Chains A and B, each alone.
Chain A
Amino acid sequence: MSIIKVESLVKKFKEFKAVDDISFSVEAGEIFAFLGPNGAGKSTTIKMLTTLLKQTQGNIELNGFNTLKQSSEVRRSFGIVFQDPSLDDELTAYENMEFHGVLYGVPKKLRRRRIKELLTFLELAERRDDLVKTFSGGMKRRLEIARGLLHHPKILFLDEPTLGLDPQTRNHMWSYLKDLNAKEGVTVFFTTHYMEEADRIAGRIAVIDHGKIVAAGTAADLKAQTKTDSLEDAFLSLTGKTIREEESGHLDQMRLRRRAWTGRR
């Protein structure tokens, strides 16, 4: 059964096509990697999949629900770790976890237990009552991941979850996720720039570039298709070697949208 179904998805910001007519599906229980250079349209796609952004055209079904028409059912089906920070700096680590747990309806007993486990697991237990604004970048990232794992949804979206994490924590996190996937059948949809990570963990991979999906299949398929022997080489062969413009910042995107919205230049 396809738990994520995307048909002819298009997202335009003014004239710029961030996502240009993509279609793909992810099976329930799969670990799916969504790869692409900076600015390829990964995060925009995830935002549409998670109801945070409305598409210009096309159709998305998540867990059998339409993201535009049944957004609350959709939101009950997934969890997400965002690429950019989404913590409340004025709250403590524990309060951020607690807030998330209540928001996602995790029952009190289970919530308390998991918060304790996850904070210990990501080595934040000693700092649990400190305000997040006193945390280092790496600690904030670990807290975001701990928070994302607090409830066990049908689908878990992870947008570059391992960015800025040390190999130990990365390893830790993936073994936890694999366990979750095996034991509870949670579908995992993630993006990353670490190709060996995708190679090792993902069942299937889709590569997106300039808003279009340029290849999809298992890591072996992609290597065979490009006649390369590592996923990194396959990726470079599919997307070229030129360095991309950094993805336009959050603020730039907002300005773009506001201009689009008010019709001002």
Chain B
Amino acid sequence: MRIIYILWLRQLKRYIRSKARIIGSLAQPLLFLLSFAYGFGPVFARAGQGNYMEFLAPGIIGMSIIFTSIFSGMEIIWDRQFGFLKETMAAPVSRFNIMIGRTLGGATVATLQGVIVFLIATAAGFRPVNLWLLPGALLIMLLIALLFTALGTAIASLLDDMQGFQLIINFLVMPLFFLSGALFPLQGLPSALVLVARIDPLSYGIDALRILLVNLGHFGLMTDVLVLSGITVLLLAAGSYFFSKIQV
């Protein structure tokens, strides 16, 4: 337990100390939120879909979580380059615990980031329909964060240096975000796009957030939670397997 705690604490300390990273990683969701909400808002309303800010905010919260958590998971590559990974890998603790501690730390950081985006959205005019459901939304954020931190860990365990990083962002994270229904409703789309959205785990995360925050859903909360939990367990298993195979 102490091992998991100290690794978790380390991730948190690193996050809090890198002011530039916090600001940098908030700029993008903020830009999306403001330009899209105000830019497409009138069109969205005219199409009879209601308030776009309400629809969009959960999607942008999901976006900031997926980016931060994959990035946190992939910090392993940095640790490898700066040598710190050796320090943990030679220590007399199970690699499973190391992986869990890191993942929990990364997930906590990503959840915090999601909460900050939520607060910014609130300042920009977003209003959750039921304040009593906020703790539930927080749990969903944590679940999304865990899922994608585990994914980042699994990928980073297979990569040796940062060269593959841009590739992952462009060919994995971006599509996961854009095809998740974060920006548009999934009703009435071409069936190919719906199919892709159904495979994308982020779709379920954003759907669950939308149900809890603004009472708009596509898949149903039960399905969302089951899919998210199932995939998180699978990815944690894959992540700890690949992590245990790392040679430094």
Contact = CB atoms under 8 A, between A and B. Distances in A.
Interface of A: 47, 50-54, 72, 75-76, 78, 80, 82, 84-91, 95, 98-100, 102-105, 131, 250-251, 254-255, 257-258
B200 interface: no
Interface string B91-124: 1111000000000000000000000000000000
B17 A52 contact: no
B28 interface: no
B94 A72 contact: yes
A82 B85 CA distance: 12
B10 A99 contact: yes
A82 B2 CA distance: 24
A47 B247 CA distance: 9
**Chain B interface residue bracket vs A:** 20 to 34
B10 to A, nearest CB: 6
B90 A85 contact: no
B3 A102 contact: yes
B160 A258 contact: yes
Q: Which 9 A-B pairs have the closest CB atoms?
A: A76-B92, A86-B83, A254-B160, A103-B91, A75-B92, A102-B6, A52-B248, A86-B87, A258-B160
B87 A100 contact: yes
Interface in B1-41: 2-3, 6, 10, 13-14, 17-18
Interface in B67-105: 80-84, 86-94
A92 to B, nearest CB: 9
A257 B245 CA distance: 13
Contacts of A84: 83
A250 B160 CA distance: 10
Contacts of B161: 251, 254-255, 258
Contacts of A76: 92
A71 to B, nearest CB: 9
Contact of A102 (B2, B18, B83): B2
B23 to A, nearest CB: 16
Contacts of B94: 72
B89 A52 contact: yes
Given A90-B17, A91-B13, A51 B84 contact: no
Nearest to B245: A54
A4 to B, nearest CB: 15
Contacts of B84: 86-88
11 contacts: A52-B86, A53-B247, A87-B83, A88-B82, A90-B17, A95-B10, A99-B10, A103-B6, A103-B87, A103-B93, A255-B161
Nearest to A157: B90
Given A88-B10, A254-B161, A258-B160, A52 B90 contact: yes
Question: Which of B2, B14, B81, B86 has the most A CB atoms < 10 Å from its CB?
Answer: B86
Contacts of B248: 47, 52-53
A53 B89 CA distance: 10
A104 B87 CA distance: 11
Contact of B91 (A87, A104, A250, A254): A104
Interface in B155-180: 160-161
Nearest to A54: B247
Given A72-B92, A95-B13, A105-B92, A89 B247 contact: no
B3 A103 contact: yes
A105 to B, nearest CB: 7
A52 B13 contact: no
A257 B161 CA distance: 11
B160 A257 contact: yes
Contacts of A254: 80, 160-161
